[in-house]
Chain A
Amino acid sequence: MSVRDRLPLLTAGLLAALTTAACGSDAGTGTAAGAGEEAADTIPVAATDDACDVATGELPAGTHQFQVTNSGNQVTEFYVYAEGDRVMGEVENIAPGLTRELLVELPAGDYEATCKPGMVGDGIRNALTVTGEAAQLSEDETLAQAGADYQRYVRSQTGALVEQTTAFADAVRAGDVEGAKALFPVARTYWERIEPVAEVFGDLDPRIDGREGDQAEGEDFTGYHRLEQALWVDGSTEGMAPYADQLQADVQEVAGLADDTTLDPLQLANGAKALLDEIATGKITGEEDRYSHTDLWDFAANLEGSEAAVQALRPYLEEADPDLVAEIDERFAATEAELEQYRSGDGWVLYDQLTQEQLRGLSDSITALTESVSRVAAVVADR
C-alpha cells in the first residue's frame, strides 16, 4: 500500500502515456493476443498430474490457440514461455476435468510450452520452435512491445482474479468460514501479481486492499482485509455479505480497467521495483496479512508479478545492458530458491511460523534483487 502513495509521484508525467484500448476483459479464458485476432489452428494439450503432452513442437509464426485439458487430479496452469521465462501467454487455474483455451501470438523463436500441475515449481516443459521471418526489432520497437507483452500478462491474471475472488465472496456469503479462509490467499495471489496496474486506478486499490487504520476519516474499512479480519479474528462471516459484494464488484471493475491499460516502459520498470518494495515493506514484516499470516502467498505473487514486468522489458534490456539482465536473472532465481524452502503443500508456511533467521534470509535476497531491479528504469529512460 505504501507504494501506492509513491507511484503517482514517480509516474505523474507518464500517466499521459497510459493508453486505453477498446478491449473487454475476458474472464474464464486465457488471453494472450489482442482481441479480434484469428487463430490459425488449435493445438490440443493433454495435461495430467505428471504429463504435459503438447500436440506439436513446431509451429509457424502467427497466432495460435492452445486447448488445455486437465485430466489430472490437481489444478494446473499452462504457460508459453520465451527465453528467461518471459510469459507470452498463460492460462491460470485449470481445475481437474476442465478444458481451457489460450490464444497467443508467437513470433519466430524458441519457446517452452509448460504445464504446472499443482501450480507450483518449474512445471513440465516442452520445447516449442516457431519458424518464420524473425522480426529484427529496433530498441524503440522492443520497448514499445514491452507494454503489450505485459498487458498480455495482466489479462492472463485478471480472469483468474475475478473468478477466485468471486468464489471467495461466494464462500463468505454462504457463511463457509473454512472455505473462505482457504480461498483468501489464492484470490489475493492474482491481485498481488498485478498490483502496479491496479493501483493506477485511484480509489479502487484502497477499497480493495486497504488495511485497518488506513482509511480516511469517515471511510469504511472494506476489501480483502476486512473479510480477513472477520474470518480469522471473529471466526464468523456475520454481516460480511455487503463487504463480499462490494469486493467482488470492485475487483470486477479493476480487472476491466487493468485489461485495457498499457503501461509504458518506465512504468513497467517502476512497477517491477514497486512490487519488490511491497515485499520488503509489507510481507517481510507480516503487515499485509496480519490476521491470516498468509503473507508468503502475497510475497510469491509480488515476486512473480515483478518478474513478469522485468521480462516484458527483457528483449530491450538484453541489448541495452546484458550484464544487468544476467544479474537480475540470478537474483530472481536466488530469491525464488530462498522462498521455495517455505513451500507447504499447495501453499506456503504461515508468516508467524517463520524464524527471525528465515525472515532475514528472505529479506537479504529481496534487498539484493531490489538493488538490481532499481537500475532498470534508468536503462529504459536512457533511450
Chain B
Amino acid sequence: MTEPSSPGRGLTRRRLFGLLGAGTAGVVAAGAAGGAIGRATADDAAAVAGPSPTDAVEFTGAHQAGIVTPAQDRLHFVAFDVTTDRREDLVEVLKAWTAAARRMTAGQDAGPVGAVAGSPYAPPDDTGEALGLPPSGLTLTVGFGPTLFTTTDGTDRFGLAARRPAPLAELPAFAGDQLDPAISGGDLCVQACANDPQVAVHAVRNLVRLGAGVVSVRWSQLGFGRTSSTSTGQATPRNLFGFKDGTDNLKAENTAALDRFVWVGNGDPGADWLAGGSYLVTRRIRMLVEPWDTSSLVEQEQTIGRAKGSGAPLGQRAEFDPVDFTKQVDGEFAVPERSHVFLAHPTNSGTAILRRGYSFVDGSDGLGRLDAGLFFIAFQRDPETGFVQVQRNLRTDAMNEYVRHTSSAVFACPPGVRGDDDWWGRALFTA
C-alpha cells in the first residue's frame, strides 16, 4: 500500500468518537453492530444460489419488493405530481397501478387485453416493447412524498394531512447542495428495477399512461449497474469512481438489522398505514469524473478510504475485513478522517441505511464532460436517523470535491400488497 497522506486537521479521532458517542450513544452501539452485518454473513455468499436473472420476483408480501430484493442491474425511477384534487381519482390510479404491477412483475402485459389481442381500432392496453421478454426480476415499488399529504402552500388536497407521519418531511439543506427543484421532490414515486432495462422502462411507461389525467411525471431517472449489493449472495459492484460500493451495506439476510434500521415498526409514527414500509431517499449525485480520473491512485484511495483493487479498507487486506479506524501505517492512520468510508461508516455515522443506488450517464453536459454519477437510493426506518444523519456527517468528506448533489427526494413506501384485493396505499386511503 502506498504511503497515506496526513490525516485531516481539526478533530482528533478520539474526539470524533466522543462527540458522536455523547449525542447518539444508543445508535452508535447499534450502528457498530449494523456495520458488522455485512461481514458476519458474507462468508456464506458463495453458498447462496440466487434465482435466475430472468425469473419473476413475487409482487405480494409483508414488505414491498424492490427494497431488500437482491438489487437488479437496471433502474427506471419516476416521480409524479398528482394533478387532480379528487381523492377518488387518485385511488383509482393506485388500484389500476397495483393491478398492472401484479401482471407486469409476473411477465405479463400491463392490461388484461394485452399489446396485440385487442380491437384493431383501439390503442392497445400494453405498449408492447416487453412482448416475449421474461419477467427479468422486475420489481415495482411505490412511495408517497410529503407533498401528497400537504402541498407546499399548505393545502390538504386529499384529506391526508393528519395521516402524514412526522418523519416524512422535506430533507434539510446540506452543505454543498446544488439541487434543481425541477428534478427534486414529487407527490408519488415508482421505483422500477429489473435485469433488463427494456422491462423496467416498459413498466414505467405503462404506469405513466394509466395515470394520465391524474398524475404527471415530474422527473425520472434511468440507472444502470447497481452500486450496492443488498444480499450476501451478490458480489459488490463498482460505481463510476471505479470503487467497490456497498461492501458494508445492510443485507437482506440480517432481518434483525432490517427491523432496526429499515422497516417502520409498529410503534413508529404513521404505523397504522406505514408499519412494514420504509422511507426512501433519493439523491442524484453528479460525479465530476474528469477531475477524478486525473487524480492519482493514492488520492482516490485516500478519498474513499478503500483500496481500489480489492475494495479492502485501507490498512486491511481483503474487502470484507473489518474497517479498523485505529490502524496506523507508518505513523499515520490508515483510513483518513476525511475519507468517505471513515465518515459514512456506521461506526462513525452512528446509524445504518440500506443503500440501493445505480450509476447513471445522462449524456454529456455541453462542455464535453460526462453528465454522470450515482443515483443514490437509500431505505431507512426514519430519514432523520438514517440518510440525514449520515449526510450531515459527510460535511467534511474529501469526496465532496468530486460530487454535486443535483436532486433530492423523500418518500414513504407503504408495506407490501398482501392479497388479491389489496392495493398500494389501501391502509392510507381507506382507514
Contacts and interface: CB of A to CB of B under 8 A. Distances in A.
Interface of A: 266, 331, 334, 356, 360-361, 364-365, 367-372, 374-375, 377-378, 380-382
B133 interface: no
Contacts of B212: 367-368, 370-371
Interface string B210-223: 00111010000000
B213 A378 contact: no
Nearest to A357: B182
Contacts of B120: 381
Contacts of B83: 361, 364
Contact of A375 (B122, B213, B214): B122
A331 B121 contact: no
B119 interface: yes
20 contacts: A334-B213, A356-B182, A361-B83, A364-B213, A364-B216, A365-B213, A367-B213, A367-B216, A368-B212, A368-B213, A369-B213, A370-B212, A371-B213, A372-B213, A374-B123, A375-B122, A377-B121, A378-B121, A381-B120, A382-B119
B369 interface: no
Interface string B109-131: 00000000011111100000000
B395 interface: no
A375 B123 contact: yes
A378 B216 contact: no
Given A361-B83, A365-B213, A371-B212, 13 more contacts: A364-B216, A368-B212, A369-B213, A370-B212, A372-B213, A374-B122, A374-B123, A377-B121, A378-B118, A378-B119, A381-B119, A381-B121, A381-B122
- The 7 A-B residue pairs whose C-beta atoms are closest, nearest first, are A368-B213, A378-B122, A381-B121, A371-B212, A378-B121, A378-B119, A364-B216
A370 B213 CA distance: 10
A368 B84 CA distance: 12
Nearest to A364: B216
B209 interface: yes
A366 to B, nearest CB: 10
Contacts of A331: 213
A378 B121 CA distance: 5
Contacts of B118: 378
A193 to B, nearest CB: 24
Interface size, B (range): 10 to 19
Nearest to B210: A371
Contacts of A356: 182
Interface of B: 83, 118-123, 182, 209, 212-214, 216
Contacts of B209: 371
A258 to B, nearest CB: 24
Contacts of A371: 209, 212-213
Contacts of A375: 122-123
A360 B216 contact: yes
Contacts of B214: 368
Nearest to B209: A371
Contacts of B182: 356
B147 to A, nearest CB: 15
Contacts of A380: 121
A360 B121 CA distance: 29
A191 B147 CA distance: 43
B217 to A, nearest CB: 9
Nearest to B122: A378
A334 B89 CA distance: 15
Contacts of B123: 374-375
B122 A377 contact: yes
A369 to B, nearest CB: 8
Contacts of A266: 121
Contacts of A378: 118-119, 121-122
Nearest to A371: B212
A367 B211 CA distance: 10
Nearest to B208: A367
A167 B272 CA distance: 68
A212 to B, nearest CB: 26
A334 B214 CA distance: 12
A13 to B, nearest CB: 11
Nearest to A334: B213
Contacts of A377: 121-122
Nearest to B119: A378
Contacts of B119: 378, 381-382
A304 B83 CA distance: 23
A76 to B, nearest CB: 34
Nearest to B123: A374
Nearest to A363: B216
A375 B121 CA distance: 8
Nearest to B118: A378
Nearest to A360: B216
A380 B121 CA distance: 9
Nearest to A266: B121
Nearest to A367: B212
Contacts of A370: 212
A142 B274 CA distance: 53
A227 B231 CA distance: 65
A109 to B, nearest CB: 29
A94 B122 CA distance: 40
B191 to A, nearest CB: 22
A45 B359 CA distance: 69
A139 B83 CA distance: 36
Nearest to B218: A360
A370 B216 CA distance: 14
B100 to A, nearest CB: 14
Nearest to B121: A381
A264 B118 CA distance: 22
A266 B83 CA distance: 31
A377 B213 CA distance: 20
Contacts of A381: 119-122
Nearest to B182: A356
A381 B209 CA distance: 23
A364 B120 CA distance: 26
A356 B83 CA distance: 16
A372 B121 CA distance: 14
A372 B182 CA distance: 28
A302 B122 CA distance: 22
A165 to B, nearest CB: 35
B84 to A, nearest CB: 9
A115 B158 CA distance: 39
Nearest to B211: A368
A266 B121 CA distance: 9
Nearest to A361: B83
A6 to B, nearest CB: 13
Nearest to B120: A381
B214 to A, nearest CB: 8
Nearest to A374: B123
B230 to A, nearest CB: 35
Contacts of B121: 266, 377-378, 380-381
A365 to B, nearest CB: 8
A331 to B, nearest CB: 6
B127 to A, nearest CB: 13
